[in-house]
Structure 1
Amino acid sequence: CWWVSPRLFDSHLAALSHGAGVFRSLPTSNTMKFNVDGSSHGKPDPTGCGDVLRDVASSVKDLFSGPLGSMCSNEAELIDIKIACNFMLIHMGPIFGAHCSRV
């Protein structure tokens, strides 16, 4: 199962493309990475979002998912990115320093 050994899951997905020639990559040394996704059943329709925060060892550090209300999928993606940024500001602000407030 990927949640028991996320590194194994990542090795299978690292080379998969996501349609537009974009490849999923693992976090680099001394970094963390958010993978975010917002989705909608229609335009507009009920939407939801989900985030996974991983460190360089691909260990899951945080998971989030939830409903967002009725909107299009593009809005859901943007709101999910905002949720991830707010999480980083609130929970990791001291790590990033003063420049973090300019995000």
Structure 2
Amino acid sequence: MHQLLAHLQIPACVEDVFGVLASNPVAVALSPGENRLRSLLLNPGEQAVQQERGKATADFIAALRATIEDDAGNRRGVERVGELALSSQRFRDLRAQGPADRYPVPR
């Protein structure tokens, strides 16, 4: 995966709701954050360059909710939700909107 990303001349990364798993140098230069949701909510520099910030933030929060909603034992998820809930009113507002129906988790 790292080799493939390194050969791309456009920003590219592979991520899950907890963070960036791999990225190429072009992506790192544009957005050095290790967690896109955290960057979208808390990094003013990221907010300034992200044109679709509102939609991207809502999508990431829906995906996070869908990933951890039935797994209270998921330490990474609990930590991420706790950090963002304490730091971001936007996160609290979007998180409170209801169930994650946009990203159903296969059972």
Asked which structure has the greater CA Rg, the reply is 1
Higher helix share: 2
